[in-house]
Amino acid sequence: GAVVSQHPSRVICKSGTSVKIECRSLDFQATTMFWYRQFPKQSLMLMATSNEGSKATYEQGVEKDKFLINHASLTLSTLTVTSAHPEDSSFYICSAPQGGAEAFFGQGTRLTVV
């Protein structure tokens, strides 16, 4: 089946620094990818839709300048958490639809800001 790879799986960074998370579709092209945030024991919250070759679409309440999204190719979307703070610590997950109705998810990235 379709595979979506997310990297890194874990990252610890200092407060004030920026962190980049990559999401790759390994065996298919994805013109659209989705970025989610998941708090402990909670559901997924859609942050933004990444569109290849154009600007990302952000959900209400998500800071565009804080969470920079770039979708430069048909197989890669990146999420950069800028000037990270401890409250940005979370589990971030990407997904990409491929053909059928369901989306395929990356492995997730555990971000810890200290």
Partner 1 sequence: AQSVAQPEDQVNVAEGNPLTVKCTYSVSGNPYLFWYVQYPNRGLQFLLKYITGDNLVKGSYGFEAEFNKSQTSFHLKKPSALVSDSALYFCAVRALRDTNAGKSTFGDGTTLTVKP
Residues at the contact surface with partner 1, assessed by CB under 8 A: 1, 4, 6, 9-10, 32, 34, 41-44, 46, 49, 91, 93-95, 97, 100-108, 110
Cα-based angle 86, 6, 100 (whole degrees, multiple of 5): 125
| Closest approach of partner 1 to the CB of residue 83, in Å | 25
Q: Which is nearer to partner 1, 27 or 102 (CB)?
A: 102
Residues 60/78/39/98 CA torsion (nearest 10 deg) = 90
Is the Cβ–Cβ distance between 42 and 65 less than 8 Å?
A: no
Q: Which is nearer to partner 1, 30 or 81 (CB)?
A: 30
| Closest approach of partner 1 to the CB of residue 16, in Å | 25
| Closest approach of partner 1 to the CB of residue 80, in Å | 19
Q: Which is nearer to partner 1, 40 or 53 (CB)?
A: 40
| Closest approach of partner 1 to the CB of residue 51, in Å | 10
As given in the structure block, the two tokens for residue 79 are 């999420």
As given in the structure block, the two tokens for residue 43 are 């559901």
Q: Which is nearer to partner 1, 16 or 64 (CB)?
A: 64
